[in-house]
Amino acid sequence: MWIYYDSKTGNVERFMEKLRGLRDWNLKKIGPDLQVNHPGHLVTFTTRIGEVPETTSQFLNAHAKSIRTVSSSGNRNWGQNFARAADLVSLKYQIPVSLKFELSGTKRDVNNFIELLEQLHDC
C-alpha cells in the first residue's frame, strides 16, 4: 500500500506515525523531488480555514492520476470547512474521499483508515 502525505504543522505526520506502527505500508511525504511510481492514497491537511495547501495542489497537478482516495485533517472549530481540503480535491480531481479526521486523528480514526483502504484493496 502506498500513502502520499502532506504535513505542515505535524498533525498529518503524527497520523502517519500512528499508522506506521500498525502497518508496514509505504508512507511518502510530499516534496518537490518525490517520484510517484505506484498508485496510492493521499492524506493532506486543510489550511486557511477550508483550503487545499499549495504543496498538495502542486503534487496533484503532477500525480492526480495515481491517487485513488484522499483524506484530510482539519479542525472542527472551522464548522462546515472541517477537513474541507478533501472535499475540494475530490471535486476538482474526481478522487473519492476516504476519511476526514481532526488534527492528528484518534486511534479509532487510524483504524478506520486502515479498514477502509484494506477493503478497497482486498488486502
Specify the DSSP class assigned to residue 8: S
Count: domains in the chain = 1
Domain that holds residue 77: 2-121
Average pLDDT, the chain: 95
Cα separation values, 70 from 67, 89, Å: 8, 7
Which three cell numbers, joined as nine digits, stand for 32?
Answer: 518537490
Tens digit of pLDDT for each residue in 70-96? 999 999 999 999 999 999 999 999 999
CATH number at residue 77: 3.40.50.360
At 121, the pLDDT band (50, 70, 90 cuts) reads: confident
Taking the C-alpha atoms of residue 71 and residue 67, their distance in angstroms, rounded to an integer, is 11
Tens digit of pLDDT for each residue in 16-61? 999 999 999 999 999 988 999 999 999 999 999 899 999 999 999 9
Cβ–Cβ < 8 Å for 29, 5: yes
